[in-house]
Structure 1
């Protein structure tokens, strides 16, 4: 009896302990549930919403590009593309089978076929894969009619970049293309499938401003990540509209004017505010092909073209300037104290040591002063004066005029050219400078290299009163994505070149065109108030032997294209009140005769289109000419 009572008490104690433990446990669970459901309710609600709601980035529309008159140069157009959803295709067929049927309706290359299969395997079954972009309306119609036989295939509408003027603007605008491994991927927009960025030209230089800022789409998804519905949408900020200084009418005219040349470049700019009005490099390429997708064959054809259509020759082509360099030598001579009346006799050559340097005019020019030497491009006068002045002062003046360094144009890919001096040769070649090299440099040959843009800037700085004008392609000022000034007018410092020196050189350039003995008299513009001044240039690309000089120098069709001289011309108009500067380079054109008529025609056209009146931003320059008869 006693044993049973002890057993009952022991059972009761254990039951009480067990009940107490359960009570403690249940209390703990209740407290934890209260904490999670009441205290932490906001936190877990947010976490649940994060799993249920996705925030997706939306690409903004790319900003349009316009010319100075509001003509659209780069726009966005509808892009019809084929989308394939693996899940829908596999329900009725298989992806390879659907692609095979699709290939019977449109051209589907092997690399596209392989790419689609690879992306389909890598992505979730319900995620769409782009098969092909930029479909024609005919292709869209064919696919639409055959939709029942193409499970999983749909037509989607997006936007693609389009360039209405094609090759004429290719080197200025560049193009857009898919993001590559080399691109800076800090911007989340660059992670979006199919997003395109500027690759060349102003599309690249102003890419951030044109790109805009992405929008967002808040969507509800299920446990698998499938979109159920869109809850909220913010379209973001479209890219800025970019307004260029170029005149498309002039650009189109220049493009047509040089279309027959194998390789040439033309630059036209306002000498006072630095606005580039025309910038043409030929041959060119179709930027729409890059935007829409370039085939392997098309890319190889562009790369293997001997005339280099992908190269923007206006900023990246480096040429010996030839006699167009002589004005900078003349200004260096005046700065050195040499009188403009300094006379040199030209017998057709000059001897230095045991070497003879020839003038382009075989039997010589006779007695020449500075104006005569510029007008008739006498090499011997510049040989003699170049030796007196020295390479250091010649180089200093050339650099002051914008040669030997990048001009600062708002395009990537500009090259610096080369203005040599003694220190450069010691550093680059490890040899001392020779007197004969100064002689050659004085006529723009030897080591001297310039770009067509630099030659236009040099001319502008000489004719605008000695202001350090810097070329630019836009009428707005940007910093990254931000538009700082919608109608930007830059200011330029004075170069410190005496006006009387500039007037002497400009008079020589006037006579080059408008004097009967000028080397470009055939380019004289007869209409009053639109006359052009300028300077011819011929740059040799091969050495002419003494034997060839005696027998007669081979020219034109007698030698292969690549051995012919480059033809150059720099000019300005109107001569009485300069506003426009031009440079023309015709590669292997056989001399300046190839560039002169192009320059004349373009100068006539730019004054017809824009008037010869001086731009309002600059003070008018007084009439500097004191013409003499003949």
Structure 2
């Protein structure tokens, strides 16, 4: 007998003559070397035998206990009775608190104990049980029955845990409209004409769903052979747990109820993401909060915000009989998932999706509300590949749209828009750089170099700023890792390259990489005059929108003029006829890959009124000719709504 199972001092020994019994009761005590559970002394042989049984149960070694003759295989029977508990620990903690020995011959005793099961990360199921002991010669033997495992068990019943999940939270727009709701419930039914063995089907369905078998049989008896006999309505999460067991049963039929939503199917699918049954990998990473097969987020915001959306699971402990009837013994309630609010504007999102839906090559568009930094649209095209969020996950060289950052840095070092900057056919800084289409403007004002997107002019200016100044300018404008509450590639502007790489990065090549959202953020910063802090998933605890630091007004004014000239006199004329406020823009062509000649992504970014935007078309070619019309279509759709 371990010393940990022996009480330090006997607190009370009471002889109750009126009932003809001796009661050994031992209250709580402190023993820093062991469990804080109350224990009993081992001086009394009956108590010692009771403690030995408790210890054996805790250790899973019930075969080592002496039982009265004729007792069944206690180890095996206990394993069967508790096999459905799905406990996080294989055996319970068992603490004997009282042993009552009968008067007279003193050959019978009753032990009372507390049994505690660890059923999950926080669920602890404790209950009181008792068991008899009989003395034979000088030895106390345990008289075991299934009621020792739990006193409320009837013949043939076993203990089971039934995990429950609450309703998944919804994804809402700022106005409270529903963008994504939890999948609707599933109505489980039985059609008698399809069930060769109706009794067997009903029994199994009752067991899996937890409904009363007697009531279900009454429903079936009153129904016609082809009626849809409703068994129960299950929340999607609960249904997913038994789906693979219940669907194959002969005669079962199912009806899904539609979930509420205020937007078209597929709305913002890439960024909002999807849900589905949890894989083993997801379940393992959740530390027990999610189990294989349960509904969970698989991508996008559904995945990144899954902890809030899914809530916490609940659990019930039931006594299940062979005929499928279940009685609830204990309930551990869970919590429903919390709604998550995002800044997507349905009107703007639908316009963005319409603009990229028909693109032949993969494309993406991000729009930001300048006054707040709210991301109001994240669209991916064409329509058939919109489920992949290339707007946030695609890692692209920005090409000439990055000249917004280069120009911001150059203006900070004294460059003026009317300064004459040569635009030759080629420029050499460690290697030869050239312009799209072999363009050469010669000595022209810098505003013309910017409007016409002259690469060689920017390469020639690369010595006026260093790599750190360029990276800092990009970071200030929004070309930096962004935390929007959704999966996203982290933008980077390396500063450890040589002069050749620095020259390449002046025109958005080299190792500069980022997302469409980063490019849209740069335009939003210029439009708003602040270092924009984009927001997508709304923090429920945040009081105000963060607008970021105010940027120098003189430089902002110059940048706006330069970007307006791109539309009126440069490479962005596709936007010149868009209705509404004047459009400011910057086009870009970004080389990628190892092909000769290199393949190019088509870019355009800019702003109109309170909306900043960026568009990329993978392998699209020239930004003004390919991405420009998409941006024009987007803005025109907005003007018409």
Q: Normalising by structure 1, what TM-score? A: 0.64
- Taking a change above 3 Å as real, the CA distance of residues 338 and 50 of structure 1, as seen in their structure-2 partners, is farther
Matched, 1:512 2:610: no
Aligned residue among 527, 531, 535 for 1:472: 535
Where 2:525 maps in the other structure, the secondary structure is helix
1:5 equivalent in structure 2: none
Q: CA deviation at 1:243?
A: 2.7
Q: Distance in 2 between matches of 1:197 and 1:151?
A: 25
| Deviations, residues 461-504 of structure 1 (Å, cap 9, x unaligned) | 2222132x232223x325xxxxx35xx53324417x42212221
Where 1:253 maps in the other structure, the secondary structure is helix
Q: Distance in 1 between matches of 2:383 and 2:607?
A: 26
| Deviations, residues 62-106 of structure 1 (Å, cap 9, x unaligned) | 122233344432223243557899xx977989x9xx9xxxxxxxx
2:338 equivalent in structure 1: 240
Matched, 1:582 2:613: yes
Aligned residue among 331, 344, 348 for 1:250: 348
Matched, 1:539 2:606: no
Where 1:500 maps in the other structure, the secondary structure is helix
| Greater share of helix | 1
Tell me if the contact between 2:533 and 2:546 (Cα under 8 Å) persists in the aligned partners: no
Q: CA deviation at 1:325?
A: 0.9
| Deviations, residues 409-428 of structure 1 (Å, cap 9, x unaligned) | 2112x11243132x2x4xxx
Q: Distance in 2 between matches of 1:28 and 1:54?
A: 41
1:145-294 matches, cutoff 5 A: 153-155=251-253, 165-184=264-283, 190-191=290-291, 194-215=293-314, 219=318, 221-222=320-321, 226-229=324-327, 236-261=334-359, 262-283=361-382
1:390-409 matches, cutoff 5 A: 390-403=466-479, 405-409=480-484
Tell me if the contact between 2:358 and 2:383 (Cα under 8 Å) persists in the aligned partners: no
Tell me if the contact between 1:573 and 1:580 (Cα under 8 Å) persists in the aligned partners: yes
RMSD: 4.2
Q: CA deviation at 1:218?
A: 6.5
In structure 2, stretches of 5+ residues that fail to align are 1-100, 114-126, 131-146, 211-222, 230-247
1:68 equivalent in structure 2: 174
| Deviations, residues 371-401 of structure 1 (Å, cap 9, x unaligned) | 2222222223212112332333222322332
- Taking a change above 3 Å as real, the CA distance of residues 352 and 66 of structure 1, as seen in their structure-2 partners, is closer
Q: Distance in 2 between matches of 1:35 and 1:445?
A: 80
1:476-555 matches, cutoff 5 A: 476-478=538-540, 484=541, 489-494=544-549, 497-513=551-567, 515=568, 517-525=569-577, 527=579, 530-541=581-592
Matched, 1:320 2:397: yes
- Taking a change above 3 Å as real, the CA distance of residues 180 and 461 of structure 1, as seen in their structure-2 partners, is same
Q: CA deviation at 1:238?
A: 2.6
- Taking a change above 3 Å as real, the CA distance of residues 175 and 35 of structure 1, as seen in their structure-2 partners, is closer
Q: CA deviation at 1:156?
A: 5.5
Q: CA deviation at 1:50?
A: 6.0
Q: Distance in 2 between matches of 1:420 and 1:142?
A: 73
- Taking a change above 3 Å as real, the CA distance of residues 28 and 501 of structure 1, as seen in their structure-2 partners, is farther
| Deviations, residues 527-577 of structure 1 (Å, cap 9, x unaligned) | 55x2110101112336797xx9xxxxxxxxxxxxxx653210010122xxx
Q: Distance in 2 between matches of 1:272 and 1:527?
A: 21
Matched residue pairs, number? 471
Matched, 1:565 2:600: yes
2:418 equivalent in structure 1: 341
Q: Distance in 2 between matches of 1:312 and 1:276?
A: 14
Q: Distance in 2 between matches of 1:35 and 1:64?
A: 52
| Greater share of strand | 2
Tell me if the contact between 2:370 and 2:524 (Cα under 8 Å) persists in the aligned partners: yes
Q: CA deviation at 1:264?
A: 0.2
Q: Which has the higher contact order (CA 8 A, sep 6+)?
A: 1
1:116-155 matches, cutoff 5 A: 127-128=207-208, 144=226, 153-155=251-253
Q: Distance in 2 between matches of 1:208 and 1:436?
A: 46
- Taking a change above 3 Å as real, the CA distance of residues 184 and 504 of structure 1, as seen in their structure-2 partners, is same
Q: Distance in 2 between matches of 1:153 and 1:544?
A: 60
2:492 equivalent in structure 1: 418
Where 2:592 maps in the other structure, the secondary structure is coil
Tell me if the contact between 1:221 and 1:229 (Cα under 8 Å) persists in the aligned partners: yes
